[in-house]
Chain A
Amino acid sequence: MNIPTNLKYTKTDEWFDPLSGKMGLSDYAQSQLSDIVFVEILVEVGDAIEAGKAIASVESVKAAAEAYASASGKVTAVNEGLANTPEILNKDPYGKGWMVQIEGGDAFDLMDAAAYQKYCEERAH
């Protein structure tokens, strides 16, 4: 399980990078979903988003899920590339698989890597 230590995590398996303001789905989430075939970003540049609100709709070969905002703020960029190559969410969830970038977000309530690691392990049992 890949859990970078520079990121923060939600209980609904999204990550947030306090430095860049980017957010996306964790490695744990993508592995649970299996092969992802469709991603639709539900917000636009300029939208004010709130932590916990849906930012993307994700469909895999076996399930459909929503990704929720890991922090609140104003959207400065969305990853348009995901629509045509949803599989990069499986291959590179923390890099090319980022979903939305915001400004002004804080990671106040989020778990650090160690806490998230423990949270994932608990669910594995």
Chain B
Amino acid sequence: MNYIPISPKEREAMLAAIGVKSTEELFRDVPKKHRFPKLDLPPALTEMEAAAELEELAASNENLRGDLVSFLGAGAYNHYIPSVVDHILRRGEFYTAYTPYQPEISQGTLQAIFEYQSLMCALTGMEVSNASHYDGATAVAEAVSMAYAQFRGKRTKVVISPAVHPQYRETLRTYAQGMGLQLTGDDPSDVLISNLDSLISLIDANTALVIVQYPDFFGRIYDYTSLIEAAHAQGTLVCVAANPTALALLKTPGEMGADIVVGEGQPLGIPLAYGGPYLGFFTTRKQYIHKMAGRLVGETIDNRGQRAYVLTLTAREQHIKRERATSNICSNQGLMALAAAVYLSLVGKRGLRQVAELCYQRAHYAADQLGKIKGYGLQFPAPFFHEFVLRCPQPAAEINEHLLEHGILGGYDLGQDYPALNNHLLIAVTEMNSKEEIDALVEVLSEVEHD
């Protein structure tokens, strides 16, 4: 914050310089009734009173550190965050630094972004990562912009699986407005019958991009190799929206031949929060680098032969390329990208795999136990990672209400987005859910019918 002292004498000098006599005169063009509109506010409180009121409001929040046990995922997951992540984030050098406008002066920020990019490439099996986007949904939308630019607007169709996160698809539709794009494949009523073959049948020579999720919104794991081959046969690009934790355990989308791998980076050391900030990661192949949106940090050597970091290929960005740039996003989610980089560096390759294995094992234990309860069952036979669809004997909303009475945040009510899955819960289990918690969930659900 700049502290700018001003004396009445200086104020008068400034007013005189611009040729007005008073501050009142300076604002005379603003109609009088709009200058100080009457605001309907309660009487002013003292600081002590205001603090007490805010504390009381905050206390009505229920959090996952003691208040509630959570089996809610659907795109945002409850993972352990080592305390070092927050300590590094809160260092003044990082906390206040936005992607700088004179970037090379901020070598520390650039190095952190470069390391983040390197880690994301290793995780996804891709060649290039940008400096990040705002969240998973915007990263998916940027994949569409990139594919559209790659074909210079000549291909106007995008095929999207109905098992891509509903919010990602909604964001995509907002982005695609006015681009003349036809989005197809994601009719939510088809969700029970659609499979990879039905997606493949939609790909034609006018298709710019195919978007699938891995694991998909229902937690299912598919090998997309054959879908990617079918797309490439039409010259079509494929974007895989991936869960970064799952990538520690599974074949990478890069190995499957994906052209773009994006996703929500929140599971990598970023706390659950309504409205974020979250983190969109975006990786691709070198050949598409000039069409990729966002910032890109590169490593080079300076004029003394020392290692240095720079913003690379900025000419393709909007501030230079104007309306011809792929995207209007030149910014990135710096602090959250740093959180992901610190988290991944801390837990390491083996640690992340351990997290993924714990998620996998506990989710499978939960699925086994829940599937045995009378009236309940697993909806899909496909292999899954840490999330699965539970068929319930009653509307999911009623079951969640009952669970909440027992201090359990239930799964995601799938009927909101998929009418055919009205009585279905999407249950997420991570390393944060103990066996006791899972057993408690099973017990409460077993009792629902008797209540």
Separation of A63 and B319 alpha carbons in the complex (Å): 10
CB-CB contacts below 8 Å: B305-334 with A: 313, 315-316, 320-321, 324
Determine if A40 and B315 form an interchain contact, defined as CB atoms under 8 angstroms apart.
no
Chain A residues closer than 8 Å to B232, beta-carbon distance: none
**Residues in B neighbouring A37, C-beta threshold 8 A:** 313, 315
* Complex: chain B residue closest to A40, CB-CB: B290
Residue of B nearest to A57 (CB): B324
What are 12 A-B pairs with beta-carbon distances under 8 A? Answer: A38-B290, A38-B316, A40-B290, A42-B152, A57-B324, A59-B290, A59-B313, A59-B321, A63-B315, A64-B320, A64-B324, A66-B324
Q: Point out the residues of chain A lying under 8 angstroms from B290, CB to CB.
A: 38, 40, 59
**A60 contacts B315, CB within 8 Å?**
yes
Determine whether the beta carbon of A64 is less than 8 Å from that of B152.
no
In whole angstroms, how far apart are the Cα atoms of A108 and B214 in the complex?
A: 58
Q: Is the CB of A62 closer than 8 A to any CB of chain B?
A: yes
- Assess the B324–A61 pair: CB atoms within 8 A: no
B interface footprint on A42-79 (CB within 8 Å = 1, 0 otherwise): 10000000000000010111111010000000000000
B352 smallest CB distance to A (angstroms): 35
Summed over the interface, the residue pairs from A and B with CB atoms below 8 Å come to a total of 25
Bound complex: CA A66 to CA B325 (Å):
12
Residues of A near B320 (CB, < 8 A) are 63-64
A contact residues around B321 at 8 Å (CB): 59, 64
Contact A38 B152 (CB under 8 A): no
Q: Report the interface size class on chain A.
A: 10 to 19
Known interface pairs A40-B290, A42-B152. Does A59 touch B316 (Cβ–Cβ under 8 Å)?
Answer: yes
How far apart sit A40 and B151, CA to CA, in the bound complex (Å)? 12
Extra A-B contacts (16), CB below 8 Å, given A37-B313, A59-B313, A64-B315: A38-B290, A38-B313, A38-B315, A40-B290, A59-B290, A59-B315, A59-B316, A59-B321, A62-B315, A63-B315, A63-B320, A64-B316, A64-B320, A64-B321, A64-B324, A66-B324
Q: Which residues of B contact A62 (CB under 8 A)?
A: 315
Where the two chains meet, the residues of A that have a C-beta atom closer than 8 Å to any C-beta of B are 37-38, 40, 42, 57, 59-64, 66
Dominant SS at the A interface?
strand
- Across the interface, which residues of B come within 8 angstroms of A64, CB to CB? 315-316, 320-321, 324
**Closest chain B CB from A25 CB (angstroms):** 16
Closest to A61 in B: B315
User: Bound state CA distance, A107 and B316, in angstroms?
Assistant: 32
> Of residues A37, A59, A64, which shows the largest number of chain B Cβ atoms within 10 Å of its Cβ?
A64
Q: How far is the CA of A14 from the CA of B131 in the complex (A)?
A: 36
**A62, closest chain B residue (CB):** B315
Q: Determine the distance from Cα of A64 to Cα of B316 in the docked complex, in whole angstroms.
A: 7
Contacts of A63 in B (CB 8 A): 315, 320
**Distance A59 CA – B313 CA, assembled complex (angstroms):** 9
The CA-CA distance from A75 to B448 in the complex, in Å, is 72
Which 5 pairs between the two chains have the least Cβ-Cβ distance?
A59-B315, A64-B321, A64-B315, A64-B320, A38-B290
C-alpha gap A62/B313 in the complex (Å): 9
0/1 string, B336-370, CB within 8 A of A gives 1: 00000000000000000000000000000000000
Separation of A76 and B290 alpha carbons in the complex (Å): 26
Q: Kindly state the separation between the CA atoms of A42 and B150 in the bound complex, as whole angstroms.
A: 10
Q: How far is the CA of A42 from the CA of B324 in the complex (A)?
A: 12
**Complex Cα gap A62–B321 (Å):** 11
A57 to B316, CA, bound (A): 10
> Once bound together, how far apart are the Cα atoms of A63 and B320, in whole Å?
6
Question: Which residues 144-176 in B have Cβ within 8 Å of A in the complex?
Answer: 152
Residues of B within 8 A of A61 (CB): 315
Cα–Cα distance between A57 and B152 once the two chains are bound (Å)? 12
Give bound CA distance, A42 to B290, whole Å. 14
B285 CB to nearest chain A CB (Å): 15
Q: How far does the Cβ of A89 sit from chain B's closest Cβ, in whole Å?
A: 14
Q: Mark B120-153, 1 if CB is under 8 A from A, else 0.
A: 0000000000000000000000000000000010
Chain A's nearest CB lies how many Å from the CB of B289? Answer: 9
B98 to chain A, nearest CB (A): 23
